[in-house]
Structure 1
Amino acid sequence: MTTTDRVTLYYSPQSRATGTRVLLEELGAPYDLHVLNMKAGEQRRPAYLSVNPLGKVPAIRHGDALVTEQVAITIYLADLFPQAGLTPALNDPLRGPYLRWIAYYGASFEPAMIDKFMQREPAPITQSPYADYDTMLGALETQLAKGPYLLGERMTAADVLWGVAFTWTMMFGIVPRKDVFVRYAERMASRPAYQRINADDDKMAAEHATAAGG
């Protein structure tokens, strides 16, 4: 690959962007970090709002393609580097379930987690994007019980997304520490890519706190 093929990841430590960086490592992808100090509010400044008007990370730039939204980024990157084996091919029977569980993260899990964290009354089940919290989480528990990964024996990019998500949401008590979730999160967190990025995030976050006067 040439330098023009490198992926630029708009990044802040200990954020949703962590999962994208772990995925890039798992894929063996060439990438550069464009680091934002969110403690200093850099994600709300015009320079970054021109990249993502919502002021959220992650976002990636690859050539002329600018991609935001964690779900879209996960699918894009895994397809971009198929040699890593983390994405089922279009004609693979696992492709549909793979896309299902990636989409489930953004469409159902995230809205449920925010309602839970904010202690908001959820919408009526017929209007809610995730039915109700217990039903949403129960579907995940049933799927992961088939393990060791979301799609059974095969690890995919979906597991990178979900492994980081479970680690953080259990840490903050938003998801209960059920055995199946704990085992799954520990399996993903024990991988070298996660270990490397987690250690680097700790250092980077400390530097940002100091720079922001925190």
Structure 2
Amino acid sequence: MLTFFHSPNSRSTAILSLIEEMGVQDRVERRLVSIPRVDGTGKVDPANPHPEGKVPCLVHEGQVITERGAIMIHLTTLFPGKLAPQVGTPEWGKFVSWMNWYQGVMEPVLICKAAGIEHPYLFAGLRGHDEVVARLRAGLETGPWIMGEEFTAADILLHSPYAWFRDFTPDEPLIEDWVARCMARPARERALEKETAMTAKLAA
């Protein structure tokens, strides 16, 4: 049994999109929960098993799995297909590198940028947004997708902050085009339509 704890318009939207892309909606039970928001709205939901009250959260036969990169790797391993390379191949190593780079570098850098936080320790440990942009651009130069010819879960994860915060999208045609193509995926559009219905349900 797989149970996905989700809150609309949050980090877990990327997981909803992945589930749509993979076509495994009938294999993953979805549960709607509330979360505390940056604007002060929302609250921790006691029904959410995430240890910090966040989303996404996936429960697989009693085991709690958190963090988008980890959940995406877990799901694409459980349901192998075109959304990730075969486990154990060199391409798999490249895929896992991108997923972990997002969690360990890209998202923290973007959060610091959004908060206006700068410090030599941050740059030394994580680098800055210019370096993030340079790495994305280098990856897409062999594109059209992050992994090359095939659209994967790495594209869903890495483009996601620019999809929500369009002002942060770099003035780089290669990246702008990639973000636009990711956002136009039919599976993402279906996920957003479902989120609209969920938002109404959560507000009721």
The one-letter amino acid paired with 2:10 is: S
Query: C-alpha distance in 2, partners of 1:70/1:93?
Result: 22
Q: Deviations over 1:145-202 (max 9, x none)?
A: 2211111112222112123333123x2x223242112211121222211011112223
Q: 2: distance between equivalents of 1:116 and 1:200?
A: 31
Deviation digits for residues 20-63 of structure 1 (CA, Å, limit 9, x no counterpart): 01111111222221101336634x24442xx1121210001122
1:57-136 matches, cutoff 5 A: 57-82=55-80, 84-124=81-121, 127-128=124-125, 130-136=126-132
AA aligned to 1:23 is L
Mapped pair 1:163 → 2:164? no
TM-score (norm 2): 0.87
Matched, 1:190 2:157: no
TM-score of the pair, normalised by structure 1: 0.83
The aligned residue for residue 26 of structure 1 is 21
Change (3 A) 1:12 1:177: farther
Is 1:17 paired with 2:12? Answer: yes
Distance 2:199 2:117 in 1: 29
Aligned Cα root-mean-square deviation (Å): 2.0
Aligned partner letter, 1:19: A
Aligned to 2:34: 37
Matched residue, 2:194: 200
Cα distance in 1, alignment partners of residues 14 and 123 from structure 2: 31
Task: For residue 206 of structure 1, report the CA deviation from its aligned partner.
Answer: 4.7
> Contact conserved, 2:5 with 2:55, CA < 8 A, in 1?
yes
